Amino acid sequence: MPLRSALVRFAIAGAAGALAASAAVTPATASEGSQGNPQRQAPRLYKGVVTANRLLLRDAPNRGGKVVRVAFRDDVVTVYCRTTGQKVDGDSRWYLLRDGAWAYGAARYIRDLGPTPRPC
């Protein structure tokens, strides 16, 4: 095998190894705080519990949106993000849920399990 061909293969193998090693680094270990402590990364998805007897989940963050499905009291829902919409009992926050179908639920009737979801 010519020397040039061997060097090209060696360079490709090294680049592939570096790429695989960088993919193994998790976001939590990739970022370090100012004192050497890992910074906590915001989770991609959030959880909440439905507090209403029957919560209508809609295709838009308002009461005029088409009902996509219904969630019931004590259902645990997966929240993707929060947005602003029509006020429901004085609260204009709505959560975009990701449970089977993408749908908006009034945050007034969803209790957060953990941190408040990030903005959409």
Report the pLDDT value the prediction gives residue 101, as an integer from 0 to 100.
84
Give CATH for domain 46-113: 2.30.30.40
Strands (E), 1-120: 46-50, 54-58, 67-72, 76-88, 91-99, 101-106, 110-113
Report the pLDDT value the prediction gives residue 99, as an integer from 0 to 100.
82
Q: Using 70 as the pLDDT threshold, list the residues of the chain that sit under it.
A: 1-43
Token pair 């370090």 is at which residue?
Answer: 32
Spell out the domain ranges in the chain: 46-113
109: which residues sit within 8 A by CB, 6+ positions away? 50, 51, 52, 55, 88
